[in-house]
């Protein structure tokens, strides 16, 4: 009898792998160790729970613990893996203060990532938050709710809810002024969420534009949207520290000594892969700081795999190693590894780094390589064009301007990347560009695609086709 397939981490990659493996190898055991109480939940949905669009924490779960166990997966929550011995093929696990060893035949590391707050002084104060998980979302939603209206049972967390945290923040007076540090995904989405609770929102961004990975047109459009919604932007401003009085948050200090009195701070300056478990092992990290893996998700150690936010992937345009901590790549890589371990070798695939988000009434998306320095480093000669076109036929109600940016290689015409922004379903159009990247299309080939036309949905020339036509004319 062989030892089981062991998975460390009970979220997207880990449970996708466990589920697929169980279907491929029903006669063998699969065990999932998760250090927390929550499993299989949508990180990307937490801003909408905090805002109130999503009512309950349980609504963010894809699979409940019962669902997982019914699939024949041995799920062990509140079990922290503290060590991996790749020579003996065992892990060390701690549960309720007791430690034990557990053997594996194959091992998947799916430990995810964590939000970072360093090096901001004062980040450990009570009303300073990060957002990367349901406990963070619980604390923020509780804090925003007036005490007279607060009931931890209304959060819908059941037994997995950290009641003490919810009660602590639910007893506080809600914040009136909130500072957000960081103008990326978390910062932009949370500006909308906090505004919905009638907070005065200040967003601090060290670069001169929001969402730098989305390009200039998107960053400028989102900045304009936030300003119109009443969010105060502090662009090209570095936060120096947070001050306190008697242990309570007082001021945010920025830009050479400027001060702003705030009731709460959300730090959204990025995340890092959870690789600390591997420091005493021979498992290698890649250039991005995440775990290096081959095309099947295997590490440099035989029968040890990594997937999700802890692992590297290959970029589809450049072929370079990248780190893309997003939901779909995590699920897809986990599923592929589950199939491979189950006896059906399956590659984890490439990523175009496609992403989209919403800021009030405006949506945006990006995919591929937009940055010219990055494109040049990969051997391309990039050229970029930006156009604005109507989202629907001009005579049809609801049409809005959609701004599309495309980048291509001047020598070959190969499409390298794109971005979109607009108020009428602009974000979903990014999938057309992502599909073109996956097919290795040139700009000319994208221009010739037979996209659908109907006045309520698109003009005859979809904005993506207009952008391709304009860029192709410059090659």
Q: Which residues contact residue 153 at a Cβ distance below 8 angstroms, ignoring those fewer than 6 apart?
A: none
Find the DSSP H helices in 197-278: 216-228
Give me the active site residues, please: 44
| 208, 235 contact by CB (below 8 A) | yes
Peptide bond into 119 cis (omega under 30): yes
Instruction: Collapse the DSSP code of 258 into the 3-class scheme (helix H, G, I; strand E, B; otherwise coil) and give the result.
Output: strand
What is the CB neighbour count within 10 angstroms for residue 393? 15
| 268, 182 contact by CB (below 8 A) | yes
What crossing angle do the helices spanning 134-144 and 163-170 adopt, rounded to 10°?
A: 30
| 229, 144 contact by CB (below 8 A) | no
Strands (DSSP E) along 116-270, which ranges?
A: 128-129, 177-181, 200-205, 232-235, 239-245, 248-254, 258-261, 264-267
| 336, 12 contact by CB (below 8 A) | no
Locate 352 and state its tokens. Answer: 């175009």
| 311, 290 contact by CB (below 8 A) | yes
Q: For residue 177, what are the β-bridge partners?
A: 200
Q: What string of DSSP letters covers 443-454?
A: HHHHHT-----B
Find the DSSP H helices in 131-274: 134-144, 163-170, 185-196, 216-228
As a whole number of angstroms, the distance between CA 219 and CA 236 comes to 13
What crossing angle do the helices spanning 185-196 and 216-228 adopt, rounded to 10°?
A: 10
- At 366, which helix (H) or strand (E)? strand 362-368
Instruction: Collapse the DSSP code of 404 into the 3-class scheme (helix H, G, I; strand E, B; otherwise coil) and give the result.
Output: strand
Q: Which residues contact residue 253 at a Cβ distance below 8 angstroms, ignoring those fewer than 6 apart?
A: 239, 240, 241, 242, 243, 259
Q: Which residues contact residue 329 at a Cβ distance below 8 angstroms, ignoring those fewer than 6 apart?
A: 308, 313, 349, 351
In total, the chain counts a number of residues equal to 475
The conformational region for residue 167 under phi > 0 = left, psi -120 to 50 = alpha, else beta, is alpha
Rg (CA), the chain: 23
């Amino acid at each position: 009898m062989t030892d089981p397939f062991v998975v460390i981490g009970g979220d997207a990659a880990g449970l996708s792998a466990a589920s697929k493996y169980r279907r491929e190898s029903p006669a063998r055991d699969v065990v999932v160790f998760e250090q927390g109480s929550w499993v299989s939940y949508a990180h990307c949905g937490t801003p909408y729970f905090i805002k109130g669009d999503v009512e309950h924490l349980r609504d963010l779960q894809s699979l409940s613990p019962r669902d997982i166990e019914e699939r024949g997966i041995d799920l062990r929550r509140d079990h922290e893996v503290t060590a991996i011995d790749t020579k003996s093929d065992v892990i060390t696990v701690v549960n309720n203060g007791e430690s034990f060893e557990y053997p594996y035949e194959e091992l998947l590391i799916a430990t995810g990532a964590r939000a970072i707050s360093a090096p901001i002084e004062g980040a450990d104060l009570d009303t300073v938050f990060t957002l990367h998980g349901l406990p963070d979302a619980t604390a923020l939603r509780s804090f925003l709710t007036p005490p007279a209206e607060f009931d931890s049972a209304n959060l819908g967390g059941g037994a997995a809810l950290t009641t003490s945290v919810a009660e602590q923040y639910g007893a506080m007076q809600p914040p009136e002024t909130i500072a957000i540090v960081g103008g990326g995904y978390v910062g932009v989405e949370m500006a909308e969420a906090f505004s919905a609770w009638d907070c005065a929102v200040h967003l601090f961004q060290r670069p001169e534009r929001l969402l730098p990975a989305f390009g200039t047109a998107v960053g400028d459009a989102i900045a304009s949207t936030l300003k119109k919604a009443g969010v105060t932007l502090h662009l090209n401003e570095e936060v120096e520290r947070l001050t306190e009085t008697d242990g309570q948050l007082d001021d945010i200090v920025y830009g050479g000594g400027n001060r702003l009195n705030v009731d709460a701070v959300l730090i959204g300056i990025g995340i890092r892969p959870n690789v600390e478990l591997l420091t005493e092992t021979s498992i290698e990290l890649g250039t991005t700081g995440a775990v290096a893996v081959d095309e099947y998700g295997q590490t440099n150690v035989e029968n040890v795999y990594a997937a999700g936010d802890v692992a590297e992937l290959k970029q589809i345009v450049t072929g370079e190693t990248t780190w893309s901590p997003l939901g779909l790549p995590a699920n897809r890589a986990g599923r592929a590894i589950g199939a491979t371990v189950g006896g059906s070798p399956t590659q984890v695939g490439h990523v175009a780094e496609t992403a989209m988000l919403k800021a009030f009434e405006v949506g945006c998306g990006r995919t591929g390589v937009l940055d010219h320095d990055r494109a040049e480093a990969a051997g391309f000669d990039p050229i970029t064009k930006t156009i604005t076109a109507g989202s629907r036929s001009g005579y049809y109600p609801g049409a809005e301007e959609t701004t599309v940016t495309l980048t291509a290689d001047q020598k070959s015409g190969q499409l390298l990347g794109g971005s979109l922004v607009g108020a009428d379903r602009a974000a979903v159009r990014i999938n057309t560009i992502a599909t073109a990247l996956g097919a290795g299309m040139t700009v000319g080939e994208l221009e010739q695609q037979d996209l659908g036309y109907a006045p309520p949905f698109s003009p005859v020339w979809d904005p993506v086709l207009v952008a391709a036509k304009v860029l192709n004319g410059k090659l």
